[in-house]
Structure 1
Amino acid sequence: MSVIRRPAMRVVMVLPYALIVLVIVVDVLAGSAILLSLLAAPAALASATGRPRSVLLVGVLAFVVCIGAFVADEGVTEERGAVALSAVALVALAAAYASDVRLKAERRLVGVQTVADAAQNVILRPVPRRSGHFDLAVSYISATVGARIGGDLYEALPHPGGLRIIVGDVQGKGLTAVGAAVTVLTAFRAAAPADDSLQEVAEHIEEALERREEGEEFVTAVLADCTERGDVTLLSFGHPPPLVRRAGGTVLTAEPEVPGPPLGLPGGLAALHEDGPGRFALRLEPGDRMLFYTDGTTEARNAEGEFFPLPDHTDLLGEPDLADALAGLRDQLASHVQGPLDDDAAMLLLRFAPSTDGT
C-alpha cells in the first residue's frame, strides 16, 4: 500500500527511464560521456515504487547504456569506465533489495490495517439509518492520521418503546483512550437495551470504568432516552450540550442547569443518584432534530485561535438528508480549521420522524 498518490506515482515510475534518456541525449549532443556517473541513479529511483524485477530491468538498461557510452567515447579511461559500470551494477542490486524490503513492509502494513479496520468497525459500529420513529446519521473524524477511531465514541440502540443514545469523549489520546472508549461502549451495549432506567445504564458504565485495572481516564458523555412519543430525557456528564433544531428553524441548547461530573472519576459511582445533576428533559415534535457532538467539533481552532462557531451553522441541519447535513458541517469545520484537527470530532444527528400511519 503506497502512500504516494497515483498521479505522482506515475511520474516517479517514468523518472528512471527519463533519466536514462537524458543521459543519452546530453552525451550525444556533447560528443562526450559527461553524465556517465548519473546512470547509477535510475535503479535507485525505480526502487521507490517498482518491484525488484522492474528495478533490475532498469539497472540492466542503465548498465547497457553505460557500456555503449564507454565504447563510443574513446576519451573515457578504463578506470573511469570500470568505476561507472561497477557503480551501476552495485546500485541496481542494492535498489532491487530495497524494493523487496519495501514490498514486504507494505504487505505487513496492509495486514495490520485490515485488522485495524475490522477492529474499528466492531468498536464504532454503523448506527441504523432508521430506528422506530427516528432517523439517524453519524460523522467521525479522527485526529490520528490513518485512523477512524480515537477517544470519541457513539452508539444508538433500540430500546423498548424508543431509542437510547450515547455520545462521549475520553480524556486523553492514543491506545489508552481507545481502551476506555471500548469499556464505555461495551457497558452501554450491555445495559441500554434492557428495560432499566437511564440512571441504571449510567451506573453500569461507571462500574465498568471502576473495574479497569489500567488507565485513569475519565469520560465526558451524554446519554439520551428517546421515546416513540418524542419525549427525550438526557443525562449529561460534563459533556457539551446537544443542539435542538425545531422543524420551524428555531434552535435551543439542551443544557442542564447543573451538568453532572464526568464518568470515571474517583468516587463517581457514589455521586450518581436519581436526583443528581446533569438531567434535562424536552419533547420533540415531528421534524425536530437533535445534534450530539464532542468538543473536538466546538474546540477546533482556526489560524487566529478562534473556536468553531457550531451554533452559527445550525441552518445546515435542515438538509432533507441527515448525511448531507453532517457533510455540510464537516465542510464548514474543515474550512474553519484549514488543516488537520487537534482532537477527534464526532457528531450524531437524530430526527424525530413518526410515520404518518402512526406505526
Structure 2
Amino acid sequence: MPWLIWATAVAIVLATGRELSVGPLLAAIPAVAAICRRWPAIVGFGLLAAVTQTTLRWGLPTLGTSSFPMVTASIAMVTVTCVIASLARERGDRTVTHLRSLARGVQEAILRPLPRTSCGYRLSGLYRAADTEALVGGDFYEAIPTPWGLRIVVGDVAGKGLPAVDATVTLLGAFREASCTEPDLGAVAQRMDESLRRRQEATGDDRHATALLVEVGRERDCTFVNCGHVLPYLMTGDTVTELPVPPSLPLGLLHLADDDRPTTSRHSFPPRSRIVMVSDGVTEARDATGAFYDLQGALPSLTSHSTAGLTNALLQRVSDHTAGTPQDDTTIVAVTRQATNRPEPAVPSRAAMTI
C-alpha cells in the first residue's frame, strides 16, 4: 500500500502538468507503513516521501512555488511520530507475547495434558475457551491413576472470568488429593464439595460447579458419580448409549441434600468400548437458527476414530455447528478400554490437549 500511494502521487503530477501539490498524499506514506511495518521500514518510506516531494518541487517547473517547504516538514513530523508509535507497539507486542507464555504455563499447571495411556486405558482430552483470548476458564478435567483404578473428572464451574478460574483450581486440587486417599468415589466428590464451600466462605463468592466423576479399573464395570453434570455416553461397536447416571446436587450445594454423600452408580464397560464425557458447551452449542448440537446423533459416525481422533473430530464439528463462535467453554474427554487391562506406563503428551 505505501508503494501504491507513492506511485499514485507521482503519476498524478506527471499526468496533470498543472500546479498540483501531492504533498498531503506523500505524507500519508509513512503513516500507512506504520500500520504493520517496523520502524526501519517507516523511516525508509518517510525518506522516500520527503525525497519525492523535494524532487517534484524543484525538478518540475510546472509546480512553481505551490508546494511549500512545510509539506516536507510535515512528512518528517509524521515519520517521527509513526516511528515512536511503532516502537511503542513493538514493546506492547513483546509484553503480550510474554504474558501469553505465562498464561500457557498457568494453563498447563491447571489443566495438565492427559496421558495417552494409563492403567490399560487410552485417554484424550480437549478444551477450548469461549473467550478466544483466554487460555483457561471454568471447565476442567483430570485423570489420575489410583490404587482403586483410573479416576477421571470432567467439570464446569458456573460463570466466567478469574473467579471461575480460581474455583477451578480449588476443585482440581481437591480431586487430585482426594482421589489418592479416598477409596470411595462418592467421598472424593464430597471432598471437592467441602473445598469449594470453604472457598465460598473465604471469598464470599457462592458459585457452584457441576462435575462427572468416573472410576475404571480391571473389572468390566465402571463407577460414576454425577453432580449435576451432562450425562456420559458409552460407545460399543456402532452402538451409542446415553448412560442413565442419577444426578446429585452440584458441588458447593451438596450440603443442601438430605444425604451430602452423592449417589454412585455402576455400568458395564466392556473391552474396546469407549466412554465420552463433555461439558454443556457441546450439548448446548447452537447454530444460527438456534438449534442445539445433536451429540448423540453425531457420535455413531465417529466410532471408527481413534480416541484422540474422536475428540478432535467432535470438537471440529461443534465448532462448525456454531460457525466458529462458541457461546460457552467446550470440554471433551474420551476414555477407551483396551482389549486387555494390562497396566501401561502413563506417557504425558502435549498433543492430548488442544487450545
Q: Same fold (TM over 0.5)?
A: yes
Q: Which residue among 247, 253, 257 is the counterpart of 2:242?
A: 253
Listed one character per residue, the Cα deviations across residues 293-332 of structure 1 (whole Å, up to 9, x for unaligned) are 0001000101111100000011244134211112221222
Percent identical: 30
The answer as to whether partners of 1:159 and 1:195 remain within 8 angstroms in 2 is: no
The answer as to whether partners of 1:218 and 1:263 remain within 8 angstroms in 2 is: yes
Distance, in Å, in 2 between the alignment partners of 1:251 and 1:356 is 22
Pairwise CA distance, 1:104: 0.7
Pairwise CA distance, 1:291: 0.3
Distance, in Å, in 1 between the alignment partners of 2:17 and 2:294 is 67
The answer as to whether partners of 1:162 and 1:227 remain within 8 angstroms in 2 is: yes
Distance, in Å, in 1 between the alignment partners of 2:113 and 2:342 is 28
Pairwise CA distance, 1:333: 1.2
1:310 aligns with 2:310: no
Q: Which residue among 14, 24, 28 is the counterpart of 2:14?
A: 28
Change in 2 beyond 3 A, CA 1:190/1:269: farther
Distance, in Å, in 2 between the alignment partners of 1:150 and 1:221 is 15
The letter of the residue matching 2:255 is G
Listed one character per residue, the Cα deviations across residues 11-48 of structure 1 (whole Å, up to 9, x for unaligned) are xxxx2123212212232222344433201111111112
Alignment match, 1:12 = none
Deviates more, 1:59-68 or 1:222-231: 222-231
Distance, in Å, in 2 between the alignment partners of 1:21 and 1:79 is 21
The letter of the residue matching 1:272 is D
Q: Which residue among 200, 206, 209 is the counterpart of 1:219?
A: 209
The letter of the residue matching 1:66 is Q
Alignment match, 1:265 = 253
SS in 2 for 1:217: coil
Alignment match, 1:290 = 275
Q: Which residue among 141, 148, 152 is the counterpart of 2:139?
A: 152
Q: Which residue among 37, 62, 87 is the counterpart of 2:74?
A: 87
Which residues in structure 2 correspond to 1:173-192 (within 5 Å)? Answer: 173-192=160-179
Q: Please give the TM-score of this superposition, normalised by the length of structure 1.
A: 0.89
SS in 1 for 2:154: strand
Distance, in Å, in 2 between the alignment partners of 1:97 and 1:37 is 20
Pairwise CA distance, 1:283: 1.7
Q: Which residue among 190, 212, 221 is the counterpart of 1:203?
A: 190
Which residues in structure 2 correspond to 1:1-359 (within 5 Å)? Answer: 15-32=1-18, 33-76=20-63, 78=65, 80-212=67-199, 213-214=202-203, 215-247=205-237, 249-256=238-245, 258-265=246-253, 267-268=255-256, 271-273=259-261, 276-277=262-263, 279-355=264-340
Deviates more, 1:78-87 or 1:295-304: 78-87
Distance, in Å, in 2 between the alignment partners of 1:191 and 1:160 is 12
Listed one character per residue, the Cα deviations across residues 326-346 of structure 1 (whole Å, up to 9, x for unaligned) are 222122212211131010010
Alignment match, 1:3 = none
Pairwise CA distance, 1:285: 0.8
Deviates more, 1:42-51 or 1:89-98: 42-51
The letter of the residue matching 2:267 is L
* Higher RCO (C-alpha under 8 Å, 6+ residues apart): 2
The answer as to whether partners of 2:21 and 2:67 remain within 8 angstroms in 1 is: no
Pairwise CA distance, 1:242: 0.2
Distance, in Å, in 2 between the alignment partners of 1:199 and 1:356 is 24
The answer as to whether partners of 2:2 and 2:32 remain within 8 angstroms in 1 is: yes
The answer as to whether partners of 1:316 and 1:329 remain within 8 angstroms in 2 is: no
Pairwise CA distance, 1:147: 2.3
Listed one character per residue, the Cα deviations across residues 150-192 of structure 1 (whole Å, up to 9, x for unaligned) are 1100001101142000000001011111111111111101111
Distance, in Å, in 1 between the alignment partners of 2:174 and 2:256 is 16
SS in 1 for 2:206: coil
Distance, in Å, in 2 between the alignment partners of 1:65 and 1:304 is 56
Pairwise CA distance, 1:266: 7.3
The answer as to whether partners of 1:207 and 1:269 remain within 8 angstroms in 2 is: no
Deviates more, 1:70-79 or 1:133-142: 70-79
The letter of the residue matching 2:227 is F
Distance, in Å, in 2 between the alignment partners of 1:230 and 1:156 is 19
SS in 1 for 2:68: helix
The answer as to whether partners of 1:231 and 1:281 remain within 8 angstroms in 2 is: yes
Distance, in Å, in 1 between the alignment partners of 2:121 and 2:342 is 15
SS in 2 for 1:211: helix
Listed one character per residue, the Cα deviations across residues 77-115 of structure 1 (whole Å, up to 9, x for unaligned) are 546422321221111111111101101111111111111
Pairwise CA distance, 1:116: 0.5
Let me know the Cα RMSD of the aligned residues: 2.0
The letter of the residue matching 1:307 is F
The answer as to whether partners of 1:245 and 1:317 remain within 8 angstroms in 2 is: no
How many residues of Structure 1 are paired with residues of Structure 2 in the alignment?
340
The answer as to whether partners of 1:127 and 1:138 remain within 8 angstroms in 2 is: yes
Distance, in Å, in 1 between the alignment partners of 2:209 and 2:148 is 28
Pairwise CA distance, 1:269: 8.3
Structure 1 unmatched ranges of 5 or more? 1-14
